[in-house]
Structure 1
Amino acid sequence: MQTYIVDSFAPQKFKGNPAGVCLLDKPLTDTQMLNIANELGFSETAFTHKVGEVYKIRFFSPSQEIDLCGHATLATAKILFHKKLAAGIIHFKNTNHVDLMVKQDKTSSKLLMEFPAYQVKPMAVSEIPTAMLQALGISEVVNTGFNKEINSFVIEIDSCEKLASLTPDFEKLVQSVTNIDGVAVTAISDKFEYDFESRYFWPWVGTNEDPVTGAMHTFLATYWGEKLNKTELNALQCSARGGLLQIALNEKSTVILKGEAQIMLEGVFYL
């Protein structure tokens, strides 16, 4: 099976979020896909095959299947365009039958993904478990909310410097709350070129921290778009590897995520 490693949302190699991409030449069981994702060890691995004019796509973390993954979608599109298996526009369908459209930018090497735009439901700070805030190392909170589609808390803090310096206790974080997939911590940026910054922690279902998270920006886009009264935003995910996203909200309740991807490795996975 043709297998690739791609750095997504990365303007250069060894940045952004690495994803595995597997081009299926025969059906695989869920157990096989989970084992492959665990073997590769990235936050997500994508498995895709063409059905008619659409590419079916599934995403697996090392521990379970994930419904939606932005960086692995970007990585898969990069491979399909590079191998000339698709041209111009690709339509992916995930397990929830959501149409994930990716197209090539006509003026650059970037790819544009059109995903659903999700909302953040406001929450009182008191609804966030104190043990979670302590595990994250957060003492002051600006705003809190919850996104049901990605099943994640949103915590806004007052400083991107504090955001970058967070060193969560992941063992305590997992124990602080159950039945969620992750927590997005975000702050307005103090850098001229960015509107907001974020980090995404998800030890409940994936790795401790996701380097760059396309799915998180499906709701952070609307959250910051409303707060800043903007429909176009530049975002920095300030993890150790770092990742850049250009975001555009449009009138049909979708969000455009624009980013680059770097192909790092091509090989054959023997089953």
Structure 2
Amino acid sequence: MDYYVVDAFTDKLFSGNPACICVSEKTLSNEVMQNIAFENNLSETAFIYKNGKDYILRWFTPSFEIDLCGHATLAAAFIVFNHLDCNSDKVNFETVSGVLSVIRKGDLYEMTFPKRIAQSIMKKPDIVESLSFEPLELYSERDLYVVMNNEEEVKNYIPDYTKLKKLDSWLGIVITAKGNNADFVSRYFCPELMFEDPVTGSAHSTLVPIWSNKLGKNKLLAKQLSKRGGTLYCECSNNNIKISGNAVIYSKGSILL
């Protein structure tokens, strides 16, 4: 089975978020896909295979299957457009989160994602204790969204994963603030896996509505401030979110099953 490693949300190698894209000719068992993801030990391993004109797409962390992943979807589209169906400029992926469409626009790949609206929640003492600081605001969706005072606070935050693990009602912890050279910035922490995700497209399904409302604009430039870093071009509409980014291929190989 062919596989590719792609750096997503970047135009240069060794930045953005790497994802492994496995191209299968048939459905694989959940056990096999999970074992491959564990072996790869990247934040996401995606599996795609043709289903008529579209593709089936599934995403796995080293530990479990996930319901939505932005950078691996962008990486999968990059592989479709540049290696599997080079004459196509649009691909539909059938996923557990519905059909996700990606359009190639020059060097950018524009994904249409579901709009996930978070609910504002109270700053309870146990949450503040786990975060180790007093946030401006808190929002809850799949992840916990934590609004901070400024970009410098986001950059300088040092997570205490022992404390963050107590926030087990959410998949991840997202810290965010208004940006200096972008509309907003963020960082994403996975307490269960004890690591920081380099660039998290799926989190922007919720971040974009939050900041669109705060800033009063629909088109936003976002930057994720991990060590590798990444840039996302976002648009908020009534029904969905559009997230665009670059991608570059790092490697290609074969998995011997």
Shorter-chain TM-score above 0.5 = yes
List aligned pairs for 1:1-271, cutoff 5 A.
Answer: 1-85=1-85, 87-96=88-97, 98-105=98-105, 108-126=106-124, 129-134=127-132, 139-147=133-141, 151-174=142-165, 176-191=166-181, 194-204=182-192, 206=193, 208-251=195-238, 253-271=239-257
Query: Deviation digits for residues 133-155 of structure 1, max 9, x if unmatched?
Result: 12xxxx231111101xxx11110
Q: Which moved more, 1:210-219 or 1:118-127?
A: 118-127
Secondary structure class of the residue paired with 1:83? helix
Aligned residues of 1:182 and 1:200 also touching (Cα < 8 A): yes
Query: How many percent identity over aligned positions?
Result: 36
* AA of the residue aligned to 1:255: I
Q: Distance in 1 between matches of 2:139 and 2:125?
A: 9
Secondary structure class of the residue paired with 1:46? strand
Alignment TM-score, normalising by the size of structure 2: 0.96
TM superposition outliers: structure 1 runs of 4+ over 6 Å:
none
Q: Note the residue ranges of structure 2 that are not aligned, 5 or more in a row.
A: none
CA RMSD of aligned residues (A): 1.4
Q: Distance in 2 between matches of 1:73 and 1:185?
A: 23
Aligned residues of 2:161 and 2:194 also touching (Cα < 8 A): no
Secondary structure class of the residue paired with 2:124? helix
Q: Distance in 1 between matches of 2:124 and 2:153?
A: 21
* AA of the residue aligned to 2:160: D
Q: Distance in 1 between matches of 2:125 and 2:99?
A: 33
Aligned residues of 2:37 and 2:62 also touching (Cα < 8 A): yes
| Deviation of 1:177 (Å) | 2.4
Q: Note the residue ranges of structure 1 that are not aligned, 5 or more in a row.
A: none
Q: Distance in 2 between matches of 1:156 and 1:177?
A: 16
| Deviation of 1:128 (Å) | 5.9
> CA separation of 1:246/1:211 partners in 2, compared to 1, >3 Å: closer, same or farther?
same
* AA of the residue aligned to 1:155: V
